């Protein structure tokens, strides 16, 4: 079936080998005789890259020629991970490459492992953007991603003496997947002033003058679809000093150092990804990044539209722009500025075009994550944009007043400008007002935004402006690539790999739940995957873990709301319990390996304390001869996409245990279930929809519900609360120094005992422990466990990003796939 797609693939391994050797000898100027795994990686990547380029060019030509409506996905983060394995699988030529590499004396796994992750993102939001690109290409949508080409991605995490240490991630050394487009540049203006001009007819216009110019240079990354020739484009902008006369003058005047420092200042803009996840810090450089990227992208989009000579009114029929959270909200203001100040459109006409173009996706309800920019900062950096924001606000508030006369409180509540000191621009409100659709990322989350943070806007616009599009994951990377054996087993039962492009076909494996041989193979694959992870753990931590033990995994960014502290307190509880048991009692226990991974934002003290505690508990438990294999606690350093590809397929149970109402969706929950792992979780985010799909008997739910969280917090505040007694024992043990210096963990304990337990760790502790006991019991009934695993996977069809992208296309973008012969 691949034949029809392989026009530019490799027909035979010899063809691949030839291209490989050519690149080693010419592009890399090396000899085959001193070709190591790294060089082999480059040779393979370059051979595949050549093939991608051809389809990429054709795709772009096709899209230009047919001139259908295009989608532009604006995201400050694209957490792409590795590209080579994905390219080989999507092009359908991995086996050819494997054979060719073998002939030449290489193992494809070793070659693939040489690649450095492209880690241009923090967590869920960035990885979602990457999965979207994969699905948009696979479904043949004419779609571009726009982002920043950070020189440093998310930092590399090392654990030293149990503490997180951050190492810069310099990843660009030689990246074969990007194409610099030195001919595609945009001059981006900052600072200066907005100058008013009135012509003879009394028409007032504004012009943004002065300030400084930084150049944006495009770098393009090809995005191959799976089983299609469509190869879309991800355009990342890099900042550079503008090569104007200004520098030259300085240079000639002998101000060499100052010329160089100007250059460095310009390059700083795209230097580093902000490592905060769910915390807004309001730094000027971040605002500069946002404007730089929005302005360059919009210039590019508008330039492409103008080439078609269409009327401006047609812009929203040709262009859909999706805002991945509020980070690109300035694009709304920038388009209005282009249309009014540069293209001379009337305000109302322009605004209609703007609103028709944009859609806004919200990814969080946490108040500390909602972006606000100080008015003085905005005025200094982007004087004309601030004026436009004030005008947008004025016209909006006038409309609101017409609809709800005399409600001054309402006006203050929904104003884009918060009347604080200093005044602040509320970016989420600006994004809502400037978009035709606003969506949340799971049902509960979309309901919550409508009833809490955006309630007033639902009143003003009516409910239709707000919608839900539940997140998903790409089954290509998160099943086929990460878990090839499981993918193959499924394909053997379904008669092919069609489920990879129509994930609902997975329901076909439900027929085989009772098939003994199938179950056996299913279980064997899980064990193999666990052995692979056990090897990784041995290699990186030195600890030996038993692959027949229950692997309990929590990997995600470290955050109090995600409650890794609940997990580690539960582990301590288990440890204390085992210690108090007789050898006879211990024999009945289910051995467990508790596996953690995730980065803490460098400035997030509490998150770092949690990492420290996990590591200290590991040191004590793993070296306690009483415990042996019954409990191991592992912290996997530097969790990232390529590590996830090893960890996800190896879990028996994974933890998605956020305080109800705080995790917008979660996407790793979907990855784990799709790989045959069961999950323990709260009624939060997409856990709820996963439960609906796989049924309640296949998931371990616990804890308070979102609707009760506010009340519980209130009660804590005004009546205090009684600490759960088992949790109290855990705290006693920490305070007695069981895990080293107790002072190190005092603030973490106090956040619960003395500061209101905002995340309800104590309230949920009992229910968590009881549910974990149920997990132990059920794991002992291996046959039933495997049946649950199989029937869960069978019901995961809904969570493909292919479904997600079709929903966006239909209900928000109004775009059609481009038909490819
Ligand atoms: C301004 C600082 C900042 C940076 C990143 C604030 C907020 C963010 C992101 C929106 C945080 C994030 O990644 N949110 C996650 O988005 C995923 C994809 O929709 C969801 O699955 C996660 O539940 C949500 O936490």
Largest CA distance in the chain: 97
Tokens 């306690």 locate to 624
pLDDT of residue 602: 98
The residue contributing the CA closest to ligand 1 atom 3 is 278
The residue contributing the CA closest to ligand 1 atom 13 is 125
- Mean pLDDT for 668-672 is 99
pLDDT of residue 259: 80
The answer to whether residue 245 scores a pLDDT higher than 70 is no
- Report d(CA 683, CA 687) in Å as an integer: 6
- pTM of the full predicted structure? 0.98
The residue contributing the CA closest to ligand 1 atom 10 is 363
Residues 6+ apart with CB under 8 A from 88: 44, 48, 94, 97
Active site residue 557: yes
Q: Model confidence over 331-367: pLDDT tens digits? A: 999 999 999 999 999 999 999 999 999 999 999 999 9
Tell me, in angstroms, the distance from the centre of ligand 1 to residue 295's CA.
Answer: 23
- Mean pLDDT for 633-639 is 98
Q: Model confidence over 265-324: pLDDT tens digits? A: 999 999 999 999 999 999 999 999 999 999 999 999 999 999 999 999 999 999 999 999
Residues 6+ apart with CB under 8 A from 312: 339, 343, 345, 349, 350, 353
Grade residue 1 by pLDDT with cuts at 50, 70 and 90.
Answer: very low
The one catalytic residue in 437, 556, 599, 795 is 556
Q: Which of 7, 124, 110 is nearest to 656 (CA)?
A: 124
Q: Model confidence over 108-157: pLDDT tens digits? A: 999 999 999 999 999 999 999 999 999 999 999 999 999 999 999 999 99
Tell me, in angstroms, the distance from the centre of ligand 1 to residue 439's CA.
Answer: 14
Scanning 113-165, the segments in alpha helix (DSSP H) are 124-138
Type and span of the H or E element at 484: helix 484-494
- Report d(CA 403, CA 457) in Å as an integer: 12
Active site residue 58: no
Both structure tokens of 29 = 């100027």
Tell me, in angstroms, the distance from the centre of ligand 1 to residue 381's CA.
Answer: 26
Cis peptide bond prior to 422, omega within 30° of 0: yes
The answer to whether residue 530 scores a pLDDT higher than 70 is yes
Q: Model confidence over 419-452: pLDDT tens digits? A: 999 999 999 999 999 999 999 999 999 999 999 9
Residues 6+ apart with CB under 8 A from 143: 70, 71, 72, 73, 133, 136, 137, 232, 815
Which atom from ligand 1 is nearest to the alpha carbon of 122? 13
Do residues 519 and 786 make contact, with C-beta atoms less than 8 angstroms apart?
Answer: yes
pLDDT of residue 246: 55
Both structure tokens of 480 = 């086929």
- Report d(CA 498, CA 513) in Å as an integer: 20
The one catalytic residue in 23, 69, 70, 363 is 363
Do residues 138 and 226 make contact, with C-beta atoms less than 8 angstroms apart?
Answer: yes
458-485 core/surface letters (b: 16 or more CB in 10 A; e: else): bebbeeebbbbbbbbbbbbbbbbbbbee
Residues facing 73 on adjacent strands: 145, 322
- Mean pLDDT for 69-77 is 98
Which atom from ligand 1 is nearest to the alpha carbon of 441? 19
For the chain, the 3-state helix, strand and coil shares in percent, each to the nearest 5, are: 55, 15, 30
- Report d(CA 242, CA 263) in Å as an integer: 8
The answer to whether residue 697 scores a pLDDT higher than 50 is yes
Which among 125, 281, 371, 446 is the best mutation to test ligand 1's pocket, defined by most ligand atoms within 8 Å of the CB? 125
Helix H, strand E, coil C: the string for 552-577 is EEEECCCCHHHCHHHHHHHHHHHHHH
Tell me, in angstroms, the distance from the centre of ligand 1 to residue 367's CA.
Answer: 12
Tell me, in angstroms, the distance from the centre of ligand 1 to residue 441's CA.
Answer: 10
Residues 6+ apart with CB under 8 A from 286: 274
Tell me, in angstroms, the distance from the centre of ligand 1 to residue 364's CA.
Answer: 6
Strands, E, within 325-461: which ranges?
358-361, 372-374, 417-418, 424-426, 437-440
Which atom from ligand 1 is nearest to the alpha carbon of 327? 1
Which among 363, 372, 689, 799 is the best mutation to test ligand 1's pocket, defined by most ligand atoms within 8 Å of the CB? 363
Q: Which residues line ligand 1 (CB under 6 A)?
A: 122-125, 128, 276-280, 325, 363-364, 369, 371, 441, 471, 663-667, 685
Which atom from ligand 1 is nearest to the alpha carbon of 279? 2
CA angle at 106 for the pair 104 and 111, rounded to the nearest 5°: 130
- Report d(CA 565, CA 567) in Å as an integer: 5
Which among 119, 128, 278, 282 is the best mutation to test ligand 1's pocket, defined by most ligand atoms within 8 Å of the CB? 278
Q: What's the number of CA atoms in the CB half-sphere (13 Å) around residue 756?
A: 11
The residue contributing the CA closest to ligand 1 atom 5 is 277
- Report d(CA 659, CA 627) in Å as an integer: 31
Active site residue 667: yes
The one catalytic residue in 327, 557, 563, 612 is 557
pLDDT of residue 821: 66
Tell me, in angstroms, the distance from the centre of ligand 1 to residue 360's CA.
Answer: 13
pLDDT of residue 258: 83
The residue contributing the CA closest to ligand 1 atom 1 is 280
Which among 325, 555, 560, 688 is the best mutation to test ligand 1's pocket, defined by most ligand atoms within 8 Å of the CB? 325
- Report d(CA 660, CA 685) in Å as an integer: 8
- Mean pLDDT for 85-114 is 97
Which atom from ligand 1 is nearest to the alpha carbon of 663? 23
The residue contributing the CA closest to ligand 1 atom 11 is 278
The answer to whether residue 504 scores a pLDDT higher than 90 is yes
793-802 core/surface letters (b: 16 or more CB in 10 A; e: else): bbbbbbbbbb
Do residues 730 and 766 make contact, with C-beta atoms less than 8 angstroms apart?
Answer: no
pLDDT of residue 692: 98
pLDDT of residue 244: 63
Sign, CA dihedral 419-420-421-425, equals: negative
Residues 6+ apart with CB under 8 A from 425: 372, 373, 374, 375, 378, 386, 389, 416, 417, 418
- Mean pLDDT for 794-808 is 99
The residue contributing the CA closest to ligand 1 atom 7 is 278
Q: Model confidence over 565-582: pLDDT tens digits? A: 999 999 999 999 999 999
For residue 718, count other CB atoms closer than 10 A to its CB.
Answer: 7
Which atom from ligand 1 is nearest to the alpha carbon of 685? 23
Which among 147, 277, 555 is the best mutation to test ligand 1's pocket, defined by most ligand atoms within 8 Å of the CB? 277
The answer to whether residue 5 scores a pLDDT higher than 60 is no
Q: Would the ipTM clear 0.85, i.e. be above it?
A: yes
The one catalytic residue in 70, 671, 716, 788 is 671
The separation between CA 25 and the C-alpha centre of its own chain, rounded to angstroms, equals 38
Active site residue 556: yes
Q: Which of 27, 7, 14, 232 is nearest to 140 (CA)?
A: 232
Tokens 């495997």 locate to 786
Sign, CA dihedral 39-45-48-49, equals: negative
The residue contributing the CA closest to ligand 1 atom 16 is 125
Query: Which is more confident, 721 or 680?
Result: 680
The answer to whether residue 3 scores a pLDDT higher than 80 is no
The residue contributing the CA closest to ligand 1 atom 6 is 278
Work out the end-to-end distance of the chain between its first and last CA atoms, rounded to an integer number of angstroms: 15
Tell me, in angstroms, the distance from the centre of ligand 1 to residue 278's CA.
Answer: 6
- Report d(CA 208, CA 777) in Å as an integer: 68
For all residues of the chain together, what is the average pLDDT?
96
Instruction: Using DSSP, state whether 100 is helix, strand or coil.
Output: helix
The one catalytic residue in 13, 82, 530, 562 is 562
Strands, E, within 637-754: which ranges?
653-656, 678-681, 700-701
Report the share of the chain in percent with pLDDT over 90. 95
Go through the domains of the chain in sequence order and give each one's CATH number.
1-66+87-116 (no CATH), 67-82+117-470+807-813 (3.40.50.2000), 477-799 (3.40.50.2000)
Scanning 542-640, the segments in alpha helix (DSSP H) are 564-579, 583-587, 605-622
Q: Model confidence over 300-312: pLDDT tens digits? A: 999 999 999 999 9
Which atom from ligand 1 is nearest to the alpha carbon of 123? 13
The region that residue 235 occupies, defined by phi over 0 for left and psi between -120 and 50 for alpha, beta otherwise, is beta
Tell me, in angstroms, the distance from the centre of ligand 1 to residue 596's CA.
Answer: 20
pLDDT of residue 157: 98
Q: Model confidence over 542-553: pLDDT tens digits? A: 999 999 999 999
């Amino acid at each position: 079936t691949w034949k029809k797609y392989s026009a530019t693939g490799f027909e035979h391994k010899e063809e691949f080998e030839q291209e490989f050797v050519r690149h080693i000898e010419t592009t890399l100027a090396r000899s085959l005789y001193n070709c190591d795994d790294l060089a082999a990686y480059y040779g393979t990547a370059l051979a595949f890259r050549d093939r991608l380029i051809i389809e990429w060019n054709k795709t772009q030509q096709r899209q230009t020629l047919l001139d259908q409506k295009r989608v532009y996905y604006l995201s400050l983060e694209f957490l792409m991970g590795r590209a080579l394995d994905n390219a080989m699988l999507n092009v359908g030529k991995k086996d050819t490459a494997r054979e060719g590499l073998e002939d030449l004396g290489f193992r494809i796994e070793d070659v693939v492992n040489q690649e450095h992750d492209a880690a241009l993102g923090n967590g869920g939001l960035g990885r979602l953007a990457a999965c979207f690109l994969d699905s948009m290409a696979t479904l043949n949508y004419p779609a571009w991603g726009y982002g920043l080409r950070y020189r440093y991605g998310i930092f590399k995490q090392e654990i030293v003496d149990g503490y997180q240490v951050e190492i810069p991630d310099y990843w660009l050394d030689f990246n074969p997947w990007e194409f610099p487009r030195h001919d595609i540049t945009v001059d981006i203006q900052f600072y200066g002033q907005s100058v008013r001009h009135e012509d003879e007819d009394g028409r007032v216009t504004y012009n943004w003058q002065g300030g400084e110019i930084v150049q944006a240079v495009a770098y393009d990354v090809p995005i191959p679809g799976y089983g299609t020739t469509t190869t879309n484009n991800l355009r990342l902008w890099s900042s550079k000093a503008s090569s104007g006369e200004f520098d030259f003058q300085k240079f000639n005047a002998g101000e060499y150092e100052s010329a160089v420092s100007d250059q460095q200042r310009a390059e700083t803009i795209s230097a580093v990804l902000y490592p905060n996840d769910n915390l807004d810090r309001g730094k000027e450089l971040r605002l500069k990044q946002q404007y730089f990227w929005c302005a360059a992208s919009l210039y590019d989009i508008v330039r492409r539209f103008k080439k078609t000579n269409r009327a401006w009114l047609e812009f929203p029929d040709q262009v859909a722009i999706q805002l991945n959270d509020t980070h690109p909200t300035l694009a709304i203001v920038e388009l209005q500025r282009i249309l009014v100040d540069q293209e001379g459109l009337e305000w109302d006409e322009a605004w209609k075009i703007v609103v028709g173009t944009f859609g806004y996706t919200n990814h969080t309800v946490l108040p500390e994550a909602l972006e606000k920019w100080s008015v003085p900062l905005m005025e200094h950096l982007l004087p004309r944009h601030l004026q436009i924001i004030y005008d947008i606000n004025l016209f909006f508030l006038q409309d609101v007043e017409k609809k709800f006369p005399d409600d001054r409180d309402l006006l203050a509540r929904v104003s884009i400008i918060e009347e604080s000191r200093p005044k602040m621009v509320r970016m989420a409100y600006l994004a809502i007002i400037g978009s035709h659709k606003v969506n949340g990322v799971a049902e509960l989350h979309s309901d919550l935004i409508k009833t809490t943070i955006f309630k007033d806007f639902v009143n003003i616009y009516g409910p239709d402006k707000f919608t839900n599009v539940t997140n998903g994951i790409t089954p290509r990377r998160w099943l086929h690539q990460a878990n090839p054996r499981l993918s193959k087993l499924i394909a053997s039962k379904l008669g092919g790999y069609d489920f990879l492009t129509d994930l609902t076909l997975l329901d076909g494996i439900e027929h085989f739940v009772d098939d003994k041989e199938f179950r056996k193979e299913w279980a064997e694959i899980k064990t193999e995957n666990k052995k692979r992870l056990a090897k990784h753990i041995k290699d990186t931590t030195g600890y030996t873990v038993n692959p027949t033990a229950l692997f309990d995994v929590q990997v995600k960014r470290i955050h109090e709301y995600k409650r890794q502290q609940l997990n580690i307190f539960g582990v301590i509880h288990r440890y204390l319990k085992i210690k108090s048991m007789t050898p006879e009692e211990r024999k009945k226990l289910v051995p467990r390996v508790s596996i953690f991974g995730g980065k803490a934002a460098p400035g997030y003290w509490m998150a770092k304390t949690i990492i420290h505690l996990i590591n200290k508990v590991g040191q004590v438990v793993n070296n306690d001869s009483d415990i042996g294999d019954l409990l191991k606690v592992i912290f996997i350093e530097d969790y990232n996409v390529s590590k996830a590809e090893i960890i996800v397929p190896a879990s028996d149970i994974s933890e998605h245990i956020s305080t109800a109402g705080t995790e917008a969706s979660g996407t790793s929950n979907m990855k784990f279930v799709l790989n045959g792992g069961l999950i323990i979780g709260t009624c939060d985010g997409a856990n709820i929809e996963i439960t609906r799909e796989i049924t309640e008997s296949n998931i371990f739910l616990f804890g308070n519900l979102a609707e009760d969280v506010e009340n519980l917090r209130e009660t804590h505040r005004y009546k205090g609360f009684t600490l759960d007694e088992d949790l109290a024992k855990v705290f006693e043990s920490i305070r007695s120094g069981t895990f080293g210096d107790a002072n190190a963990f005092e603030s973490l304990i106090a956040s619960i005992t003395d500061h209101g337990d905002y995340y309800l760790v104590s309230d949920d502790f009992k229910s968590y422990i009881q549910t974990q006991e149920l997990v132990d019991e059920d794991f002992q009934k291996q046959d039933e466990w495997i049946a649950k695993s199989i029937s869960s996977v069978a019901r995961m069809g809904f969570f493909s990003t292919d479904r997600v992208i079709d929903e966006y296309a239909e209900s928000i973008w109004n775009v059609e796939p481009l038909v490819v012969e």
